[in-house]
Chain A
Amino acid sequence: MAKLYSKKNKTEIKMNPRDETISFILNYSKALCVIKYKNLKFEALQN
Chain B
Amino acid sequence: MQNKLISDATLVSNYIQGDESSLEILIKRHKQRIFSFIYSKVYDRDVAEDVFQDTFIKVIKTLKRGAYNEEGKFLPWVMRISHNLVIDHFRKNNRMPKFDNSGEFSIFSVLSCDTLNAEKALIKEQVESDVRRLIDELPEDQKEVLMMRMYNDMSFKEISERTGVSINTALGRMRYALINMRKVIEKHNIILTN
Interface positions of A (Cβ within 8 A of B): 12-18, 21-22, 24-26, 28-30, 32-34, 41, 43
Contacts and interface: CB of A to CB of B under 8 A. Distances in A.
Contacts of B52: 17, 21
A16 B35 contact: yes
Nearest to A30: B20
Q: How large is the interface on B (under 10, 10 to 19, 20 to 34, 35 or more residues)?
A: 20 to 34
B61 A15 contact: no
Contacts of A16: 31-32, 35
A6 to B, nearest CB: 22
A16 B56 CA distance: 14
A17 B35 CA distance: 6
Given A22-B27, A32-B61, A13 B20 contact: no
A41 B46 CA distance: 32
A36 to B, nearest CB: 8
A6 B133 CA distance: 83
B47 to A, nearest CB: 12
